[in-house]
Structures are given as structure tokens and as C-alpha cells.
Amino acid sequence: MSTHTVVPTRRERRAAERANRPRDRRTSHTTGRRPSLTSLSLLGLVGGVALIAIAIAFGAGPSAAPSALEVTVGRAPAGIATDGFVIGSPDAPVTVDLYEDFQCPACELWGRTVFPLLAANELAAGTVRVVFHDIAFLGPESTDAGMAAYAAGQQGRFWDMWATLYANQGHENAGAFSRDRLLAMADHLGLDLARFETDMDSAAARAAVAASKAAGGAAGVTSTPTLIVDGQVLLGVRPYPELAAAIEAAAR
């Protein structure tokens, strides 16, 4: 006896395939197991800890005390007389007028590479005295740093603050000379903080910085650092031997 094989039509095969397909993926998501209350609580706790960590990292928590902030302390060269904005013997035959902005990278470079040689030689020998002039033109933190230096000068520590400001210089107006950091610098230098803060905020400090800048403009200073040695103008970070030669010529 022969057998007859029934071949399903194309429509019947498609219907069978659809019947054997798994259910829609969107349905499987919405009908999955719901998280338990305990799981939700643990997730909330972990999330809360993460948010607290983020808040602390970005400064949402209480600010650190000034002394807790990391700053580098600078010092004026030992054994050399200072008087306000002047360093060197008051009887020195040559005066160098130094025009700077505390945010100026070239000024920091001059202070780090040329000034130590000047201090070890002409300043130590009593041949020269240096008079600082603040040309705060690079933005608000230049003015703030100048006012902090003025306040330190009221306690006889201008040159220590001068060195400390340059030791902590950063990008322009990016927080290197924020109020908290300026207070931390004063604290690490051992200044009277209450007096320092009062002097830094005073109208006298702001007026002193403004007057120094105006005087520099009147003297024709248009860039920093500028050094004027007995009428000879030295622009930028000039090599120490060039400065020494100018001082020697002025001392004759």
C-alpha cells in the first residue's frame, strides 16, 4: 500500500513558525521579577554613599581650615635687610625698581632663576637695593594677591609673602590665589590671621595696589617683569650677568 505525504502550503508553514516564536522581548522586561524592598534599600544606601563622596570631592562639604590647605612656603633670603616693599641695604648706591604681577609666569621665572643670584651677590654685598612695584593687570587674582602681599607687609613680612605667592602660582585666575589659599599662606607663614584678613580687605590695600599700578603706567611700564636700573630698562627675564653688569655700571 502506498502512502501519501502531505506537504504543507507556504501559508501553513508561516503560521507554524509564528506559533513557535518566543514572546516579545518587551513583554519579558515588564514581567520580570520585581526587586525586593531589601534590594531597593541597599541600592539607595549605596547610591547615597556615592552622592556624598561626589559632594565632598567637588567641595559641597564644609571648607577646610586655612592651615589644612596645601601650600608651599617661601622665604626672603636670610641676612638681608627688608623694609616694606624694599629689600637690601638702605645705604646701597644702586636702586633696582622691580615691576611685577604675581600671576605673571615670567615674573615667577625671574624670581626663581635670577633673584637668588642677585641676593647672593649684589644684595648680600650691599651694592643694591630692590624696590617692588605691583602691576596687577592680569585679572582679579592679581589684585587679590597684591592685597595679600600688602597685608603681609603690614606685619613686616612682605618679602616672605612675595616668595610664597610665586611658589604657589598657578594658571591665571584659576584659584591659585583664592581667598582660602591666601589665608592658608598667611597661616603657614605664622602671621596674625585676624590682622592679616582685616588688612587684606581694607580700602588701604586696594588703594595701594591701584596706586602702584598707576605709577608703573606713568613710568612707561607695559610688561612684566620690568627692571629699571639707574634709568636703564631691562625687559623680561634677562640673564643675571646682564643685570649684574647694569648694576656695576650704575655703581661707578
pTM of the model: 0.74
What span, in angstroms and rounded, lies between the C-alpha atoms of 234 and 3? Answer: 114
Q: State the pLDDT at residue 69.
A: 86
Domain boundary among 61, 88, 104: 61
Is the residue at 233 inside a domain?
Answer: yes
Is the residue at 177 inside a domain?
Answer: yes
Whether residues 227 and 124 share a domain: the answer is yes
Q: State the pLDDT at residue 19.
A: 47
Whether residues 137 and 32 share a domain: the answer is no
Mean of per-residue pLDDT scores for the chain = 82
% of the chain exceeding 70 in pLDDT? 73
Whether residues 98 and 43 share a domain: the answer is no
Whether residues 154 and 232 share a domain: the answer is yes
Q: State the pLDDT at residue 40.
A: 33
Is the residue at 80 inside a domain?
Answer: yes
Whether residues 43 and 72 share a domain: the answer is no
Whether residues 157 and 79 share a domain: the answer is yes
Which of 6-15, 40-49, 77-86, 130-139 is predicted with the least confidence, judged by mean pLDDT? 40-49
Q: What is the pLDDT of residues 46-76, one digit of tens each?
A: 344 333 332 323 333 334 566 668 899 999 9
Over 63-101, what HEC string results? CCCHHHCCCCCCCCCCCCCEECCEEECCCCCEEEEEEEC
Number of structural domains (the chain) is 2
Domain that holds residue 221: 68-251
Q: What is the pLDDT of residues 189-201, one digit of tens each?
A: 999 999 999 999 9
Whether residues 24 and 129 share a domain: the answer is no
Q: What is the pLDDT of residues 6-55, one digit of tens each?
A: 444 455 555 555 544 544 433 333 333 334 433 433 333 334 433 333 23
First-to-last alpha carbon distance for the chain, in angstroms, is 137
- Reduce the DSSP state of residue 226 to 3 states and report it: strand
Is the residue at 4 inside a domain?
Answer: no
What span, in angstroms and rounded, lies between the C-alpha atoms of 109 and 113? Answer: 6
Is the residue at 120 inside a domain?
Answer: yes
Is the residue at 3 inside a domain?
Answer: no
Is the residue at 2 inside a domain?
Answer: no
Q: State the pLDDT at residue 18.
A: 53
| Average pLDDT, integer, range 186-213 | 98
Whether residues 235 and 113 share a domain: the answer is yes
